[in-house]
């Protein structure tokens, strides 16, 4: 199981459920870092809270846990990211906001478990840890973290694939391209990585959104412009091709696709 499949499985409540953790991915966590957070490490650290609290309750922990600290949602690594770089980059996202809310509630639940244990009510603390709000909220944080990763990773891959077109066309104009590009094929919107995503997984996940339809429309026009750039270059009109690529219709169309992709992922209505 690869890292993306692992996150996609975690993101589906029905697929994991009941507090179970999806099997570890076959690969390591390479590729799990997006936006300044290694999401795989964040999920792992979040799930370890149960072990840490259970160890404390049973008197086998070496940690000096404080209720006030555990109850705060901005003291752990994930919380610091949420209130720092995560909020700066993904604060627009409904999924991020929901994860932030549930993460805060989770820490209140964890603090309540710890306070109960410190009052000497070991059985009650264990009951709180294994049932009720703590379990439900912990599971929800895990699912939302996974869902946010899938959304963000999809968006990054789509934008990255789109941006590479400019470099490919520059190489083609200069006669330095590794592969021969055909204007007719380049003019099609279903042959590139982004086009395949739009017609595949992206469509399955986002086709109900107006923002997705906007991306598709702008992506179709972008490829028509890319085909014209390439046709000009092949006709020996390289200066015109470069002008269109840098400042003309192609440049505008490319920016429009990027902006539309950002709007799509900002919608966060997966």
Query: For 208-266, how does the pLDDT look when each residue is reduced to its tens digit (9 = 90+)?
Result: 889 999 999 999 999 999 999 999 999 999 999 999 999 999 999 999 998 888 788 76
Highest mean pLDDT of the ranges 28-32, 58-62, 143-147, 175-179: 58-62
CATH topology for 153-267 is 1.20.120
Longest dimension (CA), the chain: 84
Tokens of 220: 């179709």
**CATH 1.20.120.30 region(s) of the chain?**
153-267
Report residue 18: phi and psi, to 5°.
55, 30
For the entire predicted model, the pTM comes to 0.62
* CA separation for the pair 261, 270 (Å, rounded): 14
Mean pLDDT of the chain: 86
- What was the pLDDT predicted at 25? 55
Residue 176: count of CB within 10 angstroms of its CB: 8
CATH topology for 3-151 is 1.20.120
Any idea which of 21-30, 143-152, 169-178 has the lowest mean pLDDT?
A: 21-30
pLDDT: which is higher, 253 or 176? 253
Closest by CA to 224, choosing from 180, 171, 188, is: 188
């Amino acid at each position: 199981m690869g890292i993306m499949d692992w996150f996609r499985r975690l993101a589906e409540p029905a697929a994991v459920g009941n507090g179970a953790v999806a099997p570890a991915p076959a690969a390591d966590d390479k590729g799990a870092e997006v936006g300044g957070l290694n999401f795989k490490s964040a999920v792992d650290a979040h799930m370890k809270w149960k072990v840490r609290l259970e160890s404390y309750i049973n008197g086998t922990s070496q940690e000096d846990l404080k209720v006030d600290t555990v109850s705060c949602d901005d003291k752990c690594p994930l919380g610091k990211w949420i209130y720092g770089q995560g909020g700066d980059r993904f604060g627009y996202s409904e999924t991020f906001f929901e994860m932030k809310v549930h993460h805060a509630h989770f820490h209140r639940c964890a603090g309540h478990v710890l306070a109960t244990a410190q009052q000497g009510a070991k059985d009650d603390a264990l009951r709180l840890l294994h049932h009720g709000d703590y379990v439900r909220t912990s599971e929800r944080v895990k699912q939302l973290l996974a869902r946010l990763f899938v959304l963000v990773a999809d968006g990054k891959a789509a934008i990255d694939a789109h941006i590479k077109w400019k470099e490919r066309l520059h190489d083609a104009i200069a006669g330095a391209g590794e592969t021969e590009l055909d204007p007719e094929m380049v003019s099609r919107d279903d042959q590139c990585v982004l086009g395949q995503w739009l017609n595949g997984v992206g469509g399955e996940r986002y086709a109900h959104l107006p923002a997705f339809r906007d991306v598709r429309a702008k992506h179709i026009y972008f490829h028509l412009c890319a085909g014209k750039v390439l046709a000009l270059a092949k006709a020996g009109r390289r200066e015109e091709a470069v002008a269109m690529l840098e400042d003309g219709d192609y440049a505008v169309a490319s920016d429009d696709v990027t902006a539309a992709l950002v709007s799509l992922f900002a919608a966060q209505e997966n």
